[in-house]
Chain A
């Protein structure tokens, strides 16, 4: 689904990441494939803010191409604190040099959310004249000079766990700090290495990939990439066979699977050299690529998706068996389970927002069962 430059222009004329494109920076993007260093590799500054390093660790799990191949042939990794040889001022000087000498020609990759409370002092990197410099200052400064920004991981893309209520440090995603640059969001906790490398190669070869309304490349997170739609356990769902406890065979819906509302292609791509993936391991999808992840207080990762009305069908989620039958019937009736999943997704978002607001009325998995006994 690689898009052509013409197509890209058409898309760009609309909006990317919800930010209306300005003609001021559009030409720079079009020059993306020319804005390489001497060797045809894309220069990258990879900056970490409130991160756990899961994103770079996931990146080096790439199998084809291997990470050595990526470093030698695809990118020039000017700065990445986890693997770089330099440290201290020597490391920070690299940033200064790149933003000065390669302005508008490099990509800024960020993992981790950005704390803005307490003047950003919840995360500092390096000193200037003996005073700590905040991650917030660095990201603004580097971002200003960059060609485009890739926010990897759900923390950089949405705020992630640090930004979950009550958000003690005022953690925000990159898009809240930088408003005037194109931002590609590659969510996931962590993102699959293919998503990161695929997006970067796309920028290098064809320009910014087509993005959904949340700034995610549709080649990995598009509307045809609903986890539930492509799940290998889907047969159990359609047949109304549901695992009632962890380790049991069946669809994981009753155990709180977020597959019907999660956008990503792991159900067909597989994780870690395709040896496994989330639902195949019996661990229900927790929706880690979505802005609602990990939810507010009271919203369980293993909480069953809420009830949703689907036109022409019985009420979903009256009990799990009904859903299987109802959606099975929907397919038979030609309505399409996908439409149903979309409605569930919308309902779920509304539900999450309500739940997040109503602290103190949480849903607890199996609470009812416990009370009965």
Chain B
């Protein structure tokens, strides 16, 4: 019903940036100073325009989303479905008939992610204003990345999912490797190879599943009735299936990232330019946990049950370990604020792991809601760091102090985002963390209570950072204006473009803190369906 010329809203929202990309490609960068400035502005506003259109479509999808339809394993209750044969090869040796569909659709666990991606991609464009080098290439890569991310969340075909998953790696590699900080090459390669390493497992499992069920359709793969006898992943609970689950899990866990696969994250975050850090933390990390819920959980339910406690343990360790490492940033090295926030991401994504391991409605709802909230809150945090880095060209907390009087509005925004990250009630992070805790406590009370340490440690490292940067006395070197020429920064305080990026996020964070049902209601049916499906299918084994 929302099809435009036969193109559904999901295809539209995913491939719209492609048009923007092509337009940018067509506009020459210009030779002299003036033409270059003009083209730079054009690239910026084109990207703003296309991501804004994306956001509008996302909102239209949100408005027309039917909360009562569960989706998950039921093709009939998937929404905005589009299904067309894509790659059809007949009579191949070994493989037989290879049928891959362009099969997209959303349910309660992917819909919030679509909305999140649209929001984060839109606001991150404003954070891209500070990009000065090779602007054309930057925005093209940016839009390509956008396509890859959206595609991952709409795919219902494993092969399609895989293609988008890999597609997103390429622009990310260049965005970090070209526009990044001093150690950009190292960080980019580390990110690329680490993720690729995980993808290999995913590819192997995907091929194994093809032999087992003869399809790439995720919904069909999840249906035990489709499993053929005597194939590699045929018998529930067999070693091969457990290993397959572990492989998939590692592939996704690298992306989340959970301890011990997390070390690419601090490097990538610290080196990436601000908008890319925002997208990395805001959207990319969620793909890991999303992949678990979309692929690993429904297809290997008995393995979920088998490894459930270990997954919860990994969640707990990530929470506490990430928080301690973030706190440790106050004690080691250059006291890099961005690195501190990168580690806080490890900790906060740990809540998601704990929640999805709990397999209770509160826990899983909380986990998906936490994915959304972490996306918006951490996006704010990285933008906040970006603002100060653009001006002072340092991120070391030792170099600051007393900024509260110099930049009062900025301080206000930072206080909102820091307290949101701490999980203060009235902000969305509290609701999702509380739901995760309440749900996880029913399954793993001990792990949950230990995870609570993350709350205390979170307050410690965040407030300490707040104090180091904003309170006390202003260092002598910042007493003058940021930019004496007055060209870049007219006022000391945060400027309009930066506020445009931050305010929508702050509004979303506070609004969802008070009215969480605007997101959670989307998920309720799907989450309960998922839990039911995984629990029931996980039962009939000898485990």
A binds B: no
Residues of A within 8 A of B (CB): none
Residues of B within 8 A of A (CB): none
